[in-house]
Structure 1
Amino acid sequence: MPELPEMETYKRLLNERIAGKLISDIEINRDKSINVSSDQFISEVKGQTVTRVERRAKHLIFRLGSGKNLLLHLMLGGWMYLGNDEDNPDRTKQVILSFGDQKLYFIGLRLGYLHLHGPDELEKELSDLGPEPLEPSFTYEKFHEIFADRRGMIKTTLVNQEIIAGIGNCYSDEISFEAAIKPTRTFEELENSELQSLFNGMKTTFHRAIEAGGYMDNPLFKSDQKTGGYNKICRVYDREGENCFRCQTPIVKEEVSSRKTFYCPNCQK
């Protein structure tokens, strides 16, 4: 499932390519991927300009000139492709937004969605999300305030979107590795210095992953060399049996609350 770095990469690339452009046509092939009737969706979205694309947690928000918004959550298996009739993937597209001769294809939206919301509805939809970890205002003091009295396991707590927004299965492991802390430990066990390491590891990991383009497998457009670059430098996630970059000990995999969890048994204490 795409996490903060993947959606941030999408946001930046889409702003470069569709911000300020008019939605000239819409094709809806799966009614369950939207939250209103197809007729209403097309009536309210077609002819509107995408003024900008924003990110909140694992969501993208397409701001429309009308003041309405398209809220995207790709969930498991969802992805996008920006192209045309000649170069698009041979996959089922649930929704297609056209920008003249360029089209944005939404693929794999079986669990994901593209919902139309007014400002108040959008605020309500996102109201239960925790703070954004890369906001300048999200300091160590605020991080400490959130976690100082937590008793849950690091892995399961970090992926809770109501506590911090945007961290999922992959980056909870990557953050723990960066901090040299085993993700199966609990917050109540951590010293203040370890909590500081976890905070620093979160910031470092996200900046590195965004710079590399996240871990999504599929390019956003034909000449896209950015998306998915983090796959080449992933520290522990999905690397079971491979040597740790720090100490050469084989990475292990465990199931934690039905989530696959990867870590180095030697250098993550």
Structure 2
Amino acid sequence: MPELPEVEVSRQGVSPWLSDQTITNIVVRQRQMRWPVPAEISQAVGQQVLNVNRRAKYLLIEVETGTIVLHLGMSGKLRVVDASLPPVKHDHIDIVLGSGKCLRFNDPRRFGACLWQPEGTQLPQMQNLGPEPLTDAFDEERLYTLSRQRKGAIKNFVMDNAIVVGVGNIYANEALFMAGIDPRRAAGRVSAKRYKLLTAAIKQVLAEAIEQGGTTLKDFAQSDGNPGYFKQKLRVYGRAEAPCLSCQTPIKSVVIGQRNTFYCPSCQR
């Protein structure tokens, strides 16, 4: 599933093609996505793209009267192509631009979304989100304070979008390894000192992933079609029974919160 770095890389890739362009048409070939594509999306036609931003895993294409909100779901991909290029299977949505290009949304599993958020409103999906992890609003004090009395696993805690957005499964595994914290440990039993290490690790692993273009596992590719290269830097994720890169102990795999979880039983406690 594309996580925050993959969405940010997609934003960086498509933004130069969309910014200041006029949306001349929106072609919806399949309305039945994760949520039905609303007819109100057509309100963006004829308007200029003011900004292309990101909130959590949502890509935000802002025009004067509202925002087109895109979510890549599990298998969504964005491409900037010539608007005249015939669509292929699973090309569900085209946002056509005055330049003759279009932003094409392909999603085989249809767990992605394309929504319309009128100016001055906020979609339910955008409410109750925690701070962005790469901003000063996310720090160790927040994690420590909110974790007190929590008995659930710390991995689930840092993946909670109300705590901090965008720390998906891959990067939670990697950050917990970097901080030396067992992912099974209760969030309330982690000290302030260790939360400081974890906060720094989360910021580092996400920044590295963005710099490397994201993590290509099966479905994700950048907007130019190139793969993300962070997979080559994964320290624990997907490496069950392989030797730990720090101590050579075999990496273990368990399921936490219905997600595959990888950790080193020697380095993480």
TM-score (norm 1): 0.88
Residues 83 and 221, structure 1, Cα contact 8 Å, conserved in 2: no
Pairing of 1:58-69 with structure 2 (within 5 A): 58-64=57-63, 66-69=64-67
2:238 counterpart SS class: coil
**Which amino acid letter does the alignment assign opposite residue 58 of structure 2?**
H
Pairing of 1:196-207 with structure 2 (within 5 A): 196-207=196-207
Deviations 1:164-198, CA, capped at 9 Å, x for gaps: 11111111111111111111111122222222211
1:49 counterpart SS class: coil
Equivalent residue, structure 2, for 1:18 = 18
> Residue 88 and residue 134 in structure 1: after superposition, are their counterparts in 2 closer, same or farther (change >3 A)?
farther
Shift of 1:122: 2.4
Deviations 1:210-256, CA, capped at 9 Å, x for gaps: 1111114323125x4xx512111112112223232212222222111
Equivalent residue, structure 2, for 1:94 = 92
Residues 73 and 114, structure 1, Cα contact 8 Å, conserved in 2: yes
Residues 29 and 93, structure 1, Cα contact 8 Å, conserved in 2: yes
Residues 69 and 122, structure 1, Cα contact 8 Å, conserved in 2: no
| Structure 1: distance between partners of 2:56 and 2:166 | 4
| Structure 2: distance between partners of 1:176 and 1:230 | 17
Equivalent residue, structure 1, for 2:222 = 219
Deviations 1:93-146, CA, capped at 9 Å, x for gaps: 111112233221111161111101113432654121112121123232233222
Residues 41 and 116, structure 1, Cα contact 8 Å, conserved in 2: yes
Equivalent residue, structure 1, for 2:105 = 106
| Structure 1: distance between partners of 2:86 and 2:201 | 37
Pairing partner for 1:80 from 74, 78, 81? 78
CA RMSD of aligned residues (A): 2.2
| Structure 2: distance between partners of 1:233 and 1:129 | 29
Alignment of 1:128 with 2:131, yes or no, is no
| Structure 1: distance between partners of 2:181 and 2:240 | 17
Deviations 1:44-80, CA, capped at 9 Å, x for gaps: 122222211111111111101x231011111112221
2:195 counterpart SS class: helix
> Residue 183 and residue 87 in structure 1: after superposition, are their counterparts in 2 closer, same or farther (change >3 A)?
farther
> Residue 124 and residue 229 in structure 1: after superposition, are their counterparts in 2 closer, same or farther (change >3 A)?
same
| Structure 2: distance between partners of 1:85 and 1:54 | 23
| Structure 2: distance between partners of 1:166 and 1:56 | 9
**Which amino acid letter does the alignment assign opposite residue 95 of structure 2?**
L
**Which amino acid letter does the alignment assign opposite residue 119 of structure 2?**
P
Residues 251 and 264, structure 1, Cα contact 8 Å, conserved in 2: yes
Aligned length: 262
Deviations 1:30-51, CA, capped at 9 Å, x for gaps: 11234422xx433x12222221
Shift of 1:84: 2.9
| Structure 2: distance between partners of 1:248 and 1:32 | 48
> Residue 88 and residue 157 in structure 1: after superposition, are their counterparts in 2 closer, same or farther (change >3 A)?
farther
Specify every segment of 5 or more residues in structure 1 that has no aligned partner in the other structure, as ranges: none
Specify every segment of 5 or more residues in structure 2 that has no aligned partner in the other structure, as ranges: none
1:121 counterpart SS class: coil
Residues 130 and 163, structure 2, Cα contact 8 Å, conserved in 1: yes
1:215 counterpart SS class: coil
Q: Greater shift after overlay, 121-130 or 250-259? A: 121-130
Instruction: Report percent identity of matched pairs.
Output: 29
**Which amino acid letter does the alignment assign opposite residue 102 of structure 2?**
K
